[in-house]
Amino acid sequence: MHFAKPLARLVSELERLPGIGPKSAQRMAFHILRQPREEAAQLANAILQVKESIRLCPECSNFTDQEICEVCSDTRRDRAIMCVVAETRDLIAMEKTGEYKGIYHVLQGLLSPMDNITPDMLKIRELFPRIMNGVNEVILALNPTTEGQTTTFYLASRLKPLGVKVSQIAHGLPAGGDLEYADQATLISALEWRREI
Amino acid sequence: MHIDKLNLTSFRCCTQLEMSPGSGLNIIRGENAQGKTSILEALWLLTTTRSLRAFRESEMIERGQENAHISASVVREKMGEIEIQVSIHLSDRKTLKVNGSKRARMVDLIGELNAVFFGSPDMAIVAGEPSDRRHFMNVEIAQISPKYIHTFASYKKVLEQRNKLLRDLRDNPRGAIQSGLDAWTEQLIVHGGLLFERRQFYLDRLAPIADRIHQELTDGKECLEIRYLPSIHFEETNETIDDYPDGVMEERPPFVIDGSAKDISLFTAAFREQMRKIEPDEIRRGTTLIGPQRDDIQILINGKEARLFGSQGQQRTAALALKLAEFKLIELCVGEPPIMLLDDVMSDLDDARRMHLLRHASTCGQTFLTCTAIRSIPTEMLKQANIWNMSNGEISTGNFE
Ligand SMILES: [Zn+2]
């Protein structure tokens, strides 16, 4: 007994989504099948619309539905400080703090040969002309993973010769966290990143 | 340290097992495939988070069940009693609870319980492959240096990424700099430097202890030399580690666990220099050619390479000396003896070595020993030991008659 062809096709499309295994894909497909027609159409339209209306900001490579993204078009932003992040969701996390007033650059990923991601696949080429255009401090805010650390090193070694100040965000204990309950890797990292007071 | 209580639920063939082992020698007797080794496996999993023999972790769950649980109360001399529970799930990753509260990372288990495992496969440390000897180093150092585990995990990830990139560069030649190879190389050097340093540090300290034990085992007829063979060449320092007699050692523990930053920079500098030279070769071959993944240990008995020129008896004696030295080193580093897990090794040793091991086992902390028959164990030792019978996944107290 096999799934009818259209159903099998939906399952295999859903399976290609990140984090979705065969079981979840089947569950989702049956859910869609049972939905009223209008609800299924809403989902299909939302998918098409996101593809038609969202593009990369020509300046910072952030996802936007405008000509130029909200941050880049905000004239109150300090254009001498740039924060480099991997993904739009990281930019949103930084924005939520309300503490950062500079501009951003979104790499759209991190170096990872296993996923065939080399520097030319990321928005790195676009970074240099922007920095030459009045930026004097770059903050690298990439994940403390193998890929994040390697990308940080790659960028830092190429930015420093340009005479720009380069820093990376600290890794360590979460604020309000309890030392006793912190995991070892976090504690080790917090020790390494200690600073004099 | 010792295990006060051990509970297994749906673990291997043990549906429900509860035991309160004694603080000295615990002999677990039973026919093959009755679940003796499962007890050692459970204790090893609490020590390292890893199974001894499972290819897939789900193998450790009793057939027809969804979850298996191992829980133990570990009594530490200095820290008191700790409750550890590890659960293995059919469709999810393992989970860990310490004193009833859930821990996010399994790796945080390491260091709560220390153990030395000795089984038949360990007899191959001397004559086996370099990977066997690297495994010996990894398991030992990981227990006393949490940073080693984290660095080792990062190193493995970087190595995998870098090897993929080198393969791509070999198959599809283009500029190495544009490909970001330099960044992956630097990450490899930073993590690798620390692994080199830790291995040197601990082997330097293991060597004199192993030599002393080997001499005891051979009535002073043989000396044992352990030398670290890193896959990179580096300048030796003049510092030598003396074999402090026990009394002096006792005044010094615990060892300073962190090597000095200067030592690490020595290794990273040498590693960086040699990586630079070998890079064109690596691109041509499509793989990383040097690094801790190619290290080895040289083992010499009376100045001769034991792997090539030692008899089987000598090789087994050296393996035993290494394991007992590992025990001693862990004891010195953590400040109390680890538990000892002996899996059916009695038949692999001759009478003299067996007696030495048994004397060690019955005097140095808590030992779990599995065997099919107890007739090779002297009655005086049996009288003081806790004897357990294992049959069909169930354990019961036994006696020595
Ligand atoms: Zn923008």
Highest mean pLDDT: which range of B88-92, B256-260, B274-278, B341-345: B274-278
Helix (H, G, I), strand (E, B) or coil at A178: coil
CB of B15 within 8 Å of a chain A CB? The answer is: no
Q: Give the ipTM.
A: 0.84
Where on the phi/psi map is residue B238: left (φ > 0), alpha (ψ -120 to 50), or beta? alpha
B45, B231, B338 from B203: Cα distances, Å: 24, 15, 18
Highest mean pLDDT: which range of A9-13, B244-248, B394-398: A9-13
Residues of A in contact with B192 (CB under 8 A): none
Q: What is the DSSP letter of B337?
A: P
How much of chain B exceeds pLDDT 70, in percent?
Answer: 93
Reported as type and span, the H/E element at residue A56 is strand A55-56
Question: And the tokens for A162?
Answer: 């340009």
Nearest CA in chain B to A116: B165
Q: Is the pLDDT of residue B379 over 70?
A: yes
How much of chain B exceeds pLDDT 90, in percent?
Answer: 63
| Minimum mean pLDDT range among B47-61, B218-232, B267-281, B308-322 | B47-61
Tell me how crowded residue A12 is: count the other CB atoms within 10 A of its CB: 13
Please indicate whether residue B34 or residue A176 has the higher confidence score (pLDDT).
B34
Tell me how crowded residue B239 is: count the other CB atoms within 10 A of its CB: 7
Q: What is the mean pLDDT of residues A6-33?
A: 92
Please report the pLDDT score of residue B254 as a whole number: 38
CB contact under 8 Å between B183 and A150, yes or no, is: yes
Q: Is the pLDDT of residue B275 over 70?
A: yes
pLDDT digits (tens, 9 = 90+) for B286-319: 999 999 999 999 999 999 999 999 999 999 999 9
How much of chain A exceeds pLDDT 70, in percent?
Answer: 99
- How does residue B6 score in pLDDT terms, banded at 50, 70 and 90? very high
Place of tokens 């040699």: B274
CB of A112 within 8 Å of a chain B CB? The answer is: yes
Nearest CA in chain A to B147: A188
| Minimum mean pLDDT range among A100-114, B57-71, B79-93, B352-366 | B352-366
CB contact under 8 Å between B158 and A153, yes or no, is: no
Q: Is the pLDDT of residue B248 over 90?
A: no
Please report the pLDDT score of residue B125 as a whole number: 92
Residue A86 to residue A107: CA distance in whole angstroms: 5
B135, B223, B277 from B318: Cα distances, Å: 16, 10, 37
Against a cut of 0.90, is the pTM above it?
no
Which amino acid makes up residue B364?
C
Residues of B in contact with A118 (CB under 8 A): 165, 168, 178-180
Please report the pLDDT score of residue B15 as a whole number: 93
Q: Is the pLDDT of residue B401 over 80?
A: no
Distance (angstroms) between ligand 1 centre and the Cα of A156 equals: 22
Per-domain boundaries in chain B: 115-337
Q: Is the pLDDT of residue B253 over 70?
A: no
Place of tokens 């340290």: B1
Which amino acid makes up residue B186?
E
Quote the mean pLDDT of chain B: 88
pLDDT digits (tens, 9 = 90+) for B202-245: 999 999 999 999 999 999 999 999 999 999 987 655 444 444 44
CB contact under 8 Å between A119 and B108, yes or no, is: no
Question: And the tokens for A144?
Answer: 């403390």
Distance (angstroms) between ligand 1 centre and the Cα of B182 equals: 30
Q: Is the pLDDT of residue B83 over 50?
A: yes
B interface test, pick of A121, A150, A160 with most B CB neighbours within 10 Å:
A150
Please report the pLDDT score of residue B340 as a whole number: 95
Compute the half-sphere exposure of residue A125: CA atoms within 13 Å on the CB side of its CA.
8
Please report the pLDDT score of residue B240 as a whole number: 44
Domains and CATH numbers, chain A: 5-53 (1.10.8.420), 77-168 (3.40.1360.10)
Please report the pLDDT score of residue B260 as a whole number: 52
Q: Is the pLDDT of residue B3 over 90?
A: yes
C-beta of residue B314 within 8 angstroms of C-beta of residue B222 = yes
Q: Is the pLDDT of residue B258 over 50?
A: no
Tell me how crowded residue A11 is: count the other CB atoms within 10 A of its CB: 18
- How does residue A123 score in pLDDT terms, banded at 50, 70 and 90? very high
Burial letters for A23-53: b for 16+ Cβ neighbours within 10 Å, e otherwise?
A: eebbebbeeeeeeeeeeeeeeeeeeeeeeee
Quote the mean pLDDT of chain A: 91
Pick from B8, B143, B170: which is nearest to B86 by CA? Answer: B8
CB contact under 8 Å between B161 and A119, yes or no, is: no
CA-based radius of gyration for chain A: 21
Please report the pLDDT score of residue B44 as a whole number: 95
Residues of B in contact with A184 (CB under 8 A): 105, 107-108, 146, 150
Question: And the tokens for A191?
Answer: 């020790």
CB of B187 within 8 Å of a chain A CB? The answer is: yes
Quote the CATH superfamily of domain B115-337.
RecF/RecN/SMC, N-terminal domain (1.20.1050.90)
Distance (angstroms) between ligand 1 centre and the Cα of A21 equals: 34
Q: Is the pLDDT of residue A1 over 80?
A: no
Please report the pLDDT score of residue A179 as a whole number: 74
CB of A154 within 8 Å of a chain B CB? The answer is: yes
Q: Is the pLDDT of residue A182 over 80?
A: no
CB of B160 within 8 Å of a chain A CB? The answer is: yes
Tell me how crowded residue B67 is: count the other CB atoms within 10 A of its CB: 16
Residue A35 to residue B305: CA distance in whole angstroms: 73
